Structure 1
Amino acid sequence: MKNNYLNMVGLAFRARKCSLGEEAIIKDIQQNKAKLVILASDIGPQTKKKLTDKCKTYEIPFVIVEDDRNVLSNAIGKTQRVAIAILDAGFAAKIKSLLG
């Protein structure tokens, strides 16, 4: 089950339906492009607060997964990524259903 959501994140990334990096994610949240924000379990407290507060303000769903940054980064083929914004409603709905 855990692998399925990581596979969907990887597919979304390859389909260019993801946003990476704190500033880009915040911009997409403010422009209402982000449909789901995925945060790694080992995200820093300041980054976590900033992103979760933005998500709550703009009513964007977010999820803190039990995987660390290495597992999340590996799913998209990048390094040291603690947050990913999914920009497509279909991918976001599927990932949310796989995460429960």
Structure 2
Amino acid sequence: MKNNYLNMIGLAYRARKCSLGEETIVKDIQQNKAKLVLLASDIGPQTRKKLTDKCKFYEVPIEIVDDRETLSHAIGKSHRVAIAILDAGFATKIKSLLG
């Protein structure tokens, strides 16, 4: 069950329905493009606060998932602590897999 949501993140990334990087994610949240934001459990406190505050203000769902290594491995990049899902279908499926 746990790997299924990671596979969906990988599919969303390959379909170019993800955004990476703190500034890009904040911009996508503000422009109502982000449908779901995934944060690594070991994200820094300042980044966590910034992204959770933006998500609450703009009413974007946010999920705390595995550590940064697992999240980064799912998309084939290194040192990624946050991923924004830009597609409603992928976001719904990932939320259902997370429970």
Q: TM-score range by the shorter chain?
A: over 0.9
* CA deviations over 1:21-64 (Å, ceiling 9, x no partner): 00000000000000000000000000000000000000000000
**Alignment coverage as a number of residue pairs:** 99
| Stretches (4+) displaced over 6 A | none
Residue 77 (structure 2) aligns with: 78
Normalised TM-score (structure 2): 0.99
When the two chains are superposed, the root-mean-square deviation of aligned CA atoms in Å is 0.3
Residue 89 (structure 1) aligns with: 88
C-alpha distance in structure 1 between counterparts of 2:50 and 2:84, whole Å: 14
Structure 1 unmatched ranges of 5 or more: none
Normalised TM-score (structure 1): 0.98
After superposition, residues 1-100 of structure 1 pair within 5 angstroms as 1-65=1-65, 67-100=66-99
C-alpha distance in structure 2 between counterparts of 1:84 and 1:39, whole Å: 7
> How many percent identity over aligned positions?
84
C-alpha distance in structure 1 between counterparts of 2:2 and 2:23, whole Å: 27
